[in-house]
């Protein structure tokens, strides 16, 4: 069964997302829709572990195989999406590529399963100037804690 952990009704939406922090040569791999950036990943599916979900999402979106090195951040996020309330829980993993050449240094491709989203490497020094989510990555990417950090953002 491939059913996302995604619940919605007329009042709001709730979902569970996994995402990758992939750093190579002082660059961060990101996904972009117009002028908004995020870490690549996607929804967990029923019956998957978070590592299995992230591995599947990366394969589907970038055509690359990853290794989930370790969980680094957990985020609980509450925000307004138009007139609805949105709530998500995200797990962020520090990852590496199984084959370091599977995503070339110069890469600006659309996702395999969503042509509106582009994936690319961004120099870490430029992250501070981007509209990127989660926003704390602007600071945390420079000094990733050896333990798991927990963040709560509530914009309701």
Query: Can you give the residue ranges of every domain in the chain?
Result: 6-154
pLDDT of residue 75: 97
- Note whether 124 and 141 are within 8 A (CB): yes
What pLDDT, in 10s, does the model give residues 22-64? 999 999 999 998 889 999 999 999 889 999 999 999 998 888 9
pLDDT of residue 135: 92
| 137 token code pair | 């990555």
What pLDDT, in 10s, does the model give residues 97-131? 998 778 888 777 666 666 788 899 999 999 999 99
pLDDT of residue 60: 87
Listed residue (141, 130, 121, 135) closest to 62, CA to CA:
121
| Pairing label, strands 84-97, 108-110 | unpaired
What pLDDT, in 10s, does the model give residues 71-101? 999 999 998 988 999 999 999 999 999 987 7
b (16+ CB within 10 A) / e for 20-45: bbbbeeebbbbbbeeeebbbbbbbbb
CATH classification of 6-154, choosing from 3.10.129.10, 3.90.79.10, 3.50.50.60, 3.40.50.2000?
A: 3.90.79.10
- Note whether 74 and 151 are within 8 A (CB): yes
pLDDT of residue 109: 66
pLDDT of residue 124: 96
Tell me the DSSP string of 97-129: ESSTTSS-SS-EEE-SS-TT-EEEEEEGGGGGG
CA pair distance 102, 63, nearest whole angstrom: 8
């Amino acid at each position: 069964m491939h059913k996302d952990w995604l619940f919605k009704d007329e009042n709001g939406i709730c979902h569970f997302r996994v995402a990758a922090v992939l750093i190579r040569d002082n660059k961060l791999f990101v996904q972009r829709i117009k002028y908004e950036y995020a870490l690549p990943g996607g929804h967990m599916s029923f019956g998957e572990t978070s590592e299995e979900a992230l591995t599947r999402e990366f394969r589907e979106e970038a055509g690359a195989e990853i290794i989930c090195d370790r969980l680094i951040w957990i985020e609980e996020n509450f925000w307004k999406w138009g007139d609805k309330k949105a709530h998500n829980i995200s797990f962020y993993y520090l990852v590496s590529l199984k084959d370091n050449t599977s995503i070339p240094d110069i890469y600006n491709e659309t996702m395999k399963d969503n042509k509106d989203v582009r994936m690319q490497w961004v120099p870490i020094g430029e992250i501070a100037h981007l509209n990127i989510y989660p926003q704390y990555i602007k600071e945390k990417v420079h000094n990733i804690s050896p333990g798991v950090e927990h963040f709560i953002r509530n914009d309701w």
